Amino acid sequence: MKFPTLTALLATTSLCACLSACNDSQPTATPAAAQKDAAPAAKLEAPKDTWKDFAFADGGFSIKVPADPTCQPQDAGSGLTATVCTTETEKTGLMITSTPLPGVVPPENVAKVAAGAMNGAAKNMQGELINPTDVDVGGVKGKDFVVKTAQGELHSRILIKGKYLIQVMGVPKADPEASKAEVEKFVTSLKPAG
């Protein structure tokens, strides 16, 4: 699976602590009043999270992304057109697919439609479906699953809300362990808006 090359925004935080030179003389006791007025030690801060919310499917869903995705229409078969959005980090390729369905899926059919989409994804990727799990995200039902392929394990979530079927997928570029946290962050951040 090929992802477009995008410039990643990186935020770095650096702190410098300057220490005065010491001499060989014996340290002297600092009066209690001077200790109280002394500046507190600088606190080290973790790098800020630069991922941001990306809204799609007519604003019905949002997900955390590391950079603005590139989106394009794609034939989804059965007369349906999906919007496929991709972005990436150094370690991970990330994909969002939003497919408007011909009509609203009745609640009693959501599990069946999600399972069909999940099985279709595994078949299209010529992979083995592992760990399918029912999910409910803010009252929206779907499936979490992994597709094991010759290129590695692709982690995915499918949610169905109203007339939309949404699938997100995280794909390790090389080392699956190195991209594990990013894949998890991306896939589990998918949520319905409002």
At 64 the pLDDT is: 95
Q: Which position has the token pair 């997928």?
A: 169
Residue ranges in the chain whose pLDDT is less than 50: 1-35
CB 73 within 8 A of CB 82: yes
pLDDT at 47: 61
Q: Write down the pLDDT at residue 38.
A: 53
For residue 56, what are the β-bridge partners? 61
Which domains can be identified in the chain, with CATH numbers? 52-192 (3.40.1000.10)
Contact between 17 and 42 under an 8 Å Cβ cutoff? The reply is: yes
pLDDT of residue 182: 93
Q: pLDDT of 6-17, one tens digit each?
A: 222 111 111 122
Whether pTM > 0.85 for this model: the answer is no
User: Using an 8 Å Cβ cutoff, are 83 and 97 in contact?
Assistant: yes
The separation between CA 106 and the C-alpha centre of its own chain, rounded to angstroms, equals: 28
Q: What is the pLDDT of residue 127?
A: 93
Q: Residue 88: what pLDDT?
A: 95
Task: Specify the pLDDT at position 129.
Answer: 94
User: Residue 146 pairs with which residues in a beta bridge?
Assistant: 130, 155
Rounded to 5°, the CA angle 157-171-168 comes to 25
